[in-house]
Amino acid sequence: MNPAIMTWLSSTPVSDAMRNIFWMWPVMENLHFLGLSIMFGALLAVDLRVIGLAPAIPMRAAMGLIPLVLIAFSINLLTGLAFILADPYRYFYNLAFQWKIGLIFLAGVNALWFWFGEHSKLVLLGPGEQADFPAKVIAGLSLVIWVAVILLGRLIPYLE
């Protein structure tokens, strides 16, 4: 990453607030954790239903959690950007962060595949009906990717 860009990122009002207002970092961490918990919990319900491990959850109800996933992801995106702005040098050179961002991009591609390839078929399934194999693959990938993202996020402070 260009040092001039990182210098500019670290001089924004958000970066100043994150570094100089003592309560900003802990508030952002709590919001990040809350967003992650909501997002992963909702994704867990959706993905387990699609895979077939939670057949008692109505498919339409599971699909109804997707807006909640998007809201929670937005919270994580904004709080994550605040962390990056606070110390771009720490993040951009961190291997765990680089892998985490790569996997988040992959999760986005997977989500687009789900939305445009399988979602319209899934909402039509009745109680107890199983999703087709491609939908199950997408749901399984989603779970694996997001667990890896969470683990990599926890490794960021330890891989300086």
Q: What is the pLDDT of residue 123?
A: 92
**Tens-place pLDDT, residues 57-113:** 999 999 999 999 999 999 999 999 999 999 999 999 999 999 999 999 999 999 999
Distance CA 51, CA 49 (A): 5
Name the one residue in this structure whose structure tokens are 């809350």.
34
Distance CA 43, CA 19 (A): 33
Distance CA 148, CA 99 (A): 9
Domain boundaries along the sequence of the chain? 3-158
Distance CA 66, CA 51 (A): 16
